[in-house]
């Protein structure tokens, strides 16, 4: 008598994905962030569904519904703190995942990398939309500032802004459509994650040495399942610590004030995970140029798969390339810091210099590693 599950296509797919998947024997902890991001996505979807049950997308009610639900709905405060801080940890994982890909040459898997960049863009869009929903001061003015950027588009800019707003200002129609999009986008992201994993398993994982590992692999379970579980504990622990002991540490105090179109905050800024791009936006004095630079800050990642190829995948054996990479990490942190400062000197000049250095990495990393290839 045969076991039906052994012949089930769904069971076979799951088994091949998390049990028998051939995996390079030498991948390090930096490869843990893929599974951690999956945990973050599942946590965000589940906590978001719970929060949506007690949310009203209306400018007269949203702020008060969010505040009132803290006391009236069991554990609503916990789900909101988990959702808000989970977004921050989601971006920490995303940025580290991308940094690992840049360092170890994962961008050479073109389909996997390109879908990953699309996922990043959709997660950023979803995070922005979700930040608007509580309808606090920073939510309202952040939505106003960011959506107004589309007015810089030639010819169609004004019409695009009115279409986004659903009227002639950020109002009830804007909040309603933002809530709908914020609800739908995570499920689109989940579908793209499945496609991301499909191409990854089809092409195989990279490894720290940047060489072929076809003859040096082990099955995913139990070697890497246990490793991912340990990584999840180290990742989830700080998240829960933040949720229980200081849930609003990463938030903006202005968002505990109801959104008021007649009172502009002294310093409008997005959440910390957008500050690097916000600094690049402010570094360009021309509005259209700033919007182009803002988009290019993320879209430049699409360039990496077509950048000049090297004899060894990744930067492990390229000292100059490693220096450039760690300089990029430093520039990223400095841009985040500059984005949190007011739009005044010397922060504007600092942002301009850092923006130049940020884009210089993507222009120089290919030629620099090719020169080292020739020297060696």
| Residues contributing to the annotated binding site for a ubiquinone | 201
Residue ranges of the annotated binding site are 83, 97, 182, 196, 201
Answer whether 269's CB lies under 8 Å from 133's CB. Answer: no
Q: How far is CA 78 from CA 138, 182, 316, in A?
A: 22, 20, 42
Answer whether 347's CB lies under 8 Å from 275's CB. Answer: no
Q: Return the biggest CA–CA distance within the chain.
A: 78
> Of 217, 227, 322, 341, which is the active-site residue?
227
> Of 47, 139, 205, 213, which is the active-site residue?
205
Active site residue 114: no
DSSP-derived secondary structure for 195-243:
HHHHHHHHH----TT-S--TTSEEESTTHHHHHHHHHHHHHHHHHHHHH
Q: Show the 3-state SS of 322-367.
A: HHHHHHHHHHHHHHHHHHCCCCCCCHHHHHHHHHHHHHHHHHHHHH
* Tokens of residue 336, six digits: 């985040």
Residue ranges of the annotated binding site for heme b are 83, 97, 182, 196
Cα separation, 305 vs 307, whole angstroms: 6
> Of 271, 313, 351, 355, which is the active-site residue?
271
Q: Which of 368, 179, 137, 352 is nearest to 264 (CA)?
A: 137
> Of 201, 217, 221, 287, which is the active-site residue?
201
Answer whether 315's CB lies under 8 Å from 363's CB. Answer: no
Is residue 24 within a helix (H) or strand (E), and if so which, with residue range? strand 22-24
Active site residue 322: no
> Of 213, 228, 252, 355, which is the active-site residue?
228
DSSP-derived secondary structure for 106-165:
GGGSHHHHHHHHHHHHHHHHHHHHHHHTT-BHHHHHHHHHHHHGGGGSTTTHHHHHHHHH
Q: Which of 258, 273, 221 is nearest to 19 (CA)?
A: 221
Active site residue 271: yes
Cα separation, 198 vs 15, whole angstroms: 14
User: Which residues does the annotation mark as catalytic?
Assistant: 201, 205, 227-228, 271
């Amino acid at each position: 008598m045969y076991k039906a599950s052994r012949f089930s296509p769904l069971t076979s797919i799951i088994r091949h994905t998390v049990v028998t998947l051939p995996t390079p024997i030498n991948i390090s902890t930096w490869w843990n962030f893929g599974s951690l991001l999956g945990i973050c996505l599942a946590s965000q979807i589940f906590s978001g569904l719970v929060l949506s049950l007690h949310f009203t997308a209306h400018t007269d009610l949203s702020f008060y519904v969010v505040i009132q639900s803290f006391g009236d709905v069991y554990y609503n405060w916990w789900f909101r703190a988990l959702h808000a801080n989970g977004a921050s940890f989601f971006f920490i994982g995303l940025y580290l995942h991308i940094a690992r890909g840049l360092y170890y040459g994962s961008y050479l898997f073109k389909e996997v990398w390109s879908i990953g960049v699309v996922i990043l863009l959709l997660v950023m869009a979803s995070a922005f939309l979700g930040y608007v929903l509580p309808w606090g001061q920073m939510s309202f003015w952040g939505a106003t500032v960011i959506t107004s950027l589309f007015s810089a588009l030639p010819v169609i800019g004004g019409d695009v802004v009115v279409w986004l707003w659903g009227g002639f200002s950020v109002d009830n129609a804007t909040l309603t459509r933002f809530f709908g999009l914020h609800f739908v986008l995570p499920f689109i992201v989940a579908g793209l994650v499945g496609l991301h994993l499909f191409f990854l398993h089809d092409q195989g994982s990279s490894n720290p040495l940047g060489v072929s590992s076809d003859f040096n692999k082990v099955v995913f379970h139990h070697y890497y399942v246990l490793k991912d579980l340990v990584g999840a504990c180290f990742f989830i622990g700080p998240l829960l610590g933040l949720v229980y002991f200081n849930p609003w540490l990463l938030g903006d105090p202005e968002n505990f004030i109801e959104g008021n179109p007649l009172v502009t905050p002294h310093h409008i800024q997005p959440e910390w995970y957008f500050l690097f791009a916000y600094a690049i936006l402010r570094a360009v004095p021309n509005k259209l140029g700033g919007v182009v630079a803002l988009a290019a800050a993320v879209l430049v990642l699409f360039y990496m798969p077509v950048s000049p190829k090297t004899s060894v995948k990744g930067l492990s054996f390229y000292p100059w390339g490693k220096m450039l990479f760690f300089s990029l990490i430093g520039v990223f942190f400095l841009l985040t810091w500059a984005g949190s400062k007011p739009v005044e000197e010397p922060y504007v000049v600092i942002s301009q210099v850092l923006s130049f250095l940020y884009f210089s990495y993507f222009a120089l990393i290919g030629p620099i590693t090719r020169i080292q290839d020739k020297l060696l």
